[in-house]
Chain A
């Protein structure tokens, strides 16, 4: 916080030197080629000026120019009444004029140079159609994802939660970008203290240009140096709507097709939204498989190094010949072998992300077949390790949240080094370090390892396992909600009577 607090000022717009007077402002605006100024309807008429790039041409002609042309000259106040556009304004405040013009308003002046002008919002903005979610794709369930436009995103959420309790508090962040930011929560459910925390942290943001919600995420998170993300980045409106009704807080930014969700526990980073879309026992099994895959992904190569380097005793008898003969021809010690292979996989991943999709598939072929096979045949790496590393990479792709999958990618390397230094003992030491870090970590002030630590038995219903909806009677305890009850009806005993019995 300190770093950003340094030069904080109360008015977010204060960076932009307020123009001294109207002429100064006009001079600045006219420096741009897309700023148009002309007299209308004739030389004696109004002065109309606007940014061509920001204003909707059709609206301008149909609703503004047409009205002006058909009427005699009037005062700005009268004109404002004649033009049927909302939120238009007559003002002489230079700061407001500047802000509104920059936001796509048409500025209309009379010949009387008294400095007051009529500002009519007439924004033309480029919007993308909502498309299907890409990073959080699910086979079942809704196929809508957030887009860059904040209005569209809010619309998606309000459609899902049609209640006045859904409140959206607006902020402007970024001293230059002046980006619109909205904090969303369900009043009466959410813990007000958490909302205050979030809003205070957002108010503390001081940076020039905020273009994406991940900037905000990094600035308001509890521990900014932790590799473990504490806020979830989601692109699914259904996901956001669900967690809002649990009592979490959502943050959306204009221009960013993602929403931030908090507070979270570490388990929520490994639970896909798809877990809720299928029956609870299947959902639970797949969630457990995913958790196992994460553990496997973190530990497999370091366990290999530890066992091969120090603990030949633990290798089962039947596996021993396979391991020895695959290791026999390798000129490197196990640690180098593992680092070479892990490094290759990281290169492949990084290259596949950077390349366009059509070329990306080629990378898979080049990486998987050519490099893998060639490395084994050349005797650089053993095929057992190749298999382990490939499996580990595969396992890490099962993680549904992109941010934590990056964490898992990187966290393998300290484990590798520890395994080389002290074997299994080193792995234990390294795990202890990471566990103690996780114990200390909080997400918007609530413990990160909950419900494992602190042990809250009730919250297990939706953590490692997911129980059926009928068992989800209460909202998660760690959210400290004002209204903790989800299901008000007492029991389902009546159901059997209502059912038709043939």
Chain B
């Protein structure tokens, strides 16, 4: 009994120093959004927004911007800490922005620290800013509290319709995987607003300077994943436009003979409804099949152009190489990479109008 007691009490005494580092909520500065820009001479400039508690009854959060210039991200963090009363912590970081010049140099070195830091969650968004990342970080948002939340909610909202699912986890998989290239949202500061400009295209970790415009993002999303929202405007005739609304779309990749003479067919089945039809007399019954055929033709052509553009730049954001590998025994990667820009890729789009609204 006494030995037991001694053991227990010595445990308490010996383990009392084995504490964990305390991070009491009000004694830290929680970084919300951070932006990195190229400033030349191999240096980067980090700009971070932290929320600062405002004492008082109401739950108001002020914000404070700190910046630092250094060679790597951790050093900028250190320098920022030199200016703050409390340590800046990154555990609640929601968005990391990179200026497009930095992105053109390759992002691996600047994502690395977020990959290794256990404090950083994986559900954080990466985005490219057309221009300086600092400009977006320093914005004073109107509706939402801080630019961090603003950008996060902007990306999340658009991910439902026009952006593919992009977070740190997906980016790391795509940029390090073989036969797959990442994409990122491309943001832009337009006067006093933050705008999604499109989807930035990457070769490995390097921004190639091309992007898919925001409207076409819907087509890219249809090509890359199954989803249930979004709409697209089709030009019908001169001054007549039709808006089709995606109810459910499914995509399947068929890749044959990948080791010798590869052929790829991307099969997209889409159920849609018509939301807006111009240039049709609504009193006559609308020929749904005609609209379907026309929409298939127009959308299919755009998708084919998009896929050909990927081949021209030798990037693979649709992960065709990855799919080919998963379907082919003894997959020959070098051969695939050599022939990828020239293989025939066919987009096979089937649209089924399941609802056309009220007509007489």
Contact = CB atoms under 8 A, between A and B. Distances in A.
B14 interface: no
Contact of B53 (A309, A310, A315, A325): A325
A326 B26 CA distance: 9
Contacts of B91: 312-313
B56 interface: yes
A312 B54 contact: no
A65 interface: no
Q: Indicate the member of B22, B23, B25, B92 with the most A CB atoms within 10 Å.
A: B25
A329 B60 CA distance: 13
B53 A328 contact: yes
A421 B24 contact: no
A211 to B, nearest CB: 32
B59 A312 contact: no
Contact of A321 (B22, B24, B55, B59): B59
A324 B24 contact: no
A425 B15 CA distance: 14
A312 B61 contact: no
Interface string A310-323: 10110101001111
B119 A313 contact: yes
Given A312-B28, A312-B91, A317-B92, A325 B23 contact: no
A390 to B, nearest CB: 18
Contacts of B53: 321, 324-325, 327-328
B76 interface: no
Interface in A313-366: 313, 315, 317, 320-330, 333-334
B92 A309 contact: no
A16 B54 CA distance: 75
B58 interface: yes
A334 to B, nearest CB: 7
B33 to A, nearest CB: 12
A423 B56 CA distance: 27
A309 B59 contact: no
A326 B60 CA distance: 10
A327 B19 contact: no
A327 B23 CA distance: 13
Contacts of B19: 421-422
Nearest to B15: A421
A331 to B, nearest CB: 11
Given A325-B60, A325-B61, A309 B22 contact: yes
A150 B126 CA distance: 76
A326 B53 CA distance: 9
Contacts of A310: 20, 22-23
Q: Indicate the member of A320, A328, A421 with the most B CB atoms within 10 Å.
A: A320
**Residues of B contacting A: mostly:** loop
Nearest to B52: A324
Nearest to B89: A312
A106 B289 CA distance: 112
Contact of B59 (A313, A325, A334, A423): A325
Contacts of A330: 26
A308 interface: yes
Contacts, number: 72
A324 B145 CA distance: 14
Interface residues of A, number: 24
Nearest to A313: B91
B24 A334 contact: yes
Nearest to B26: A327
A424 to B, nearest CB: 10
B155 interface: no
Given A310-B23, A317-B92, A328 B55 contact: yes
**Residues of A contacting B: mostly:** helix
B51 interface: yes
B121 interface: yes
Q: Indicate the member of A317, A329, A421, A425 with the most B CB atoms within 10 Å.
A: A317
Contacts of A325: 53-56, 58-61
A324 B92 CA distance: 14
Contacts of A422: 19-20
Contact of B25 (A312, A329, A421, A425): A312
Interface string B6-22: 00000000001001101
A151 to B, nearest CB: 45
A323 B54 CA distance: 11
Interface in B45-77: 51, 53-56, 58-61
Contacts of A321: 51, 53, 59-61, 145
A172 B133 CA distance: 86
A312 B92 contact: yes
A334 B149 CA distance: 27
A324 B30 CA distance: 10
B67 to A, nearest CB: 23
B249 interface: no
Interface string B148-162: 010010000000000
B262 to A, nearest CB: 45
B20 A320 contact: no
Nearest to A308: B25
Contacts of B245: none
Contact of A313 (B54, B58, B60, B92): B92
Given A317-B94, A321-B61, A324-B61, A312 B55 contact: no
A310 B119 CA distance: 11
Nearest to B21: A310
A279 to B, nearest CB: 41
A308 B30 CA distance: 13
Given A325-B58, A422-B19, A320 B30 contact: yes
Q: Indicate the member of B30, B51, B53 with the most A CB atoms within 10 Å.
A: B53
Contacts of B145: 321
A328 B25 CA distance: 9
B20 A328 contact: no
Contact of B55 (A309, A320, A329): A329
A320 B92 contact: yes
A334 B92 CA distance: 20
Nearest to A333: B24
Q: Indicate the member of B55, B58, B145 with the most A CB atoms within 10 Å.
A: B55
Contacts of B89: 312
A224 B89 CA distance: 48
Contacts of B119: 313
B23 A324 contact: no
B58 A309 contact: no
A315 B28 CA distance: 14
B160 to A, nearest CB: 18
Interface in A203-246: none
A322 B61 CA distance: 9
A310 B89 CA distance: 12
12 contacts: A310-B22, A313-B92, A313-B119, A320-B30, A320-B61, A320-B92, A321-B60, A324-B53, A324-B61, A327-B25, A329-B55, A423-B20
Given A309-B25, A327-B25, A328-B26, 8 more contacts: A308-B24, A312-B91, A317-B92, A317-B149, A324-B26, A324-B53, A328-B55, A425-B20
Shortest 9 CB-CB contacts between residues of A and residues of B: A313-B91, A324-B53, A328-B53, A322-B59, A321-B61, A321-B59, A328-B55, A327-B26, A308-B25
Interface of A: 308-310, 312-313, 315, 317, 320-330, 333-334, 421-423, 425
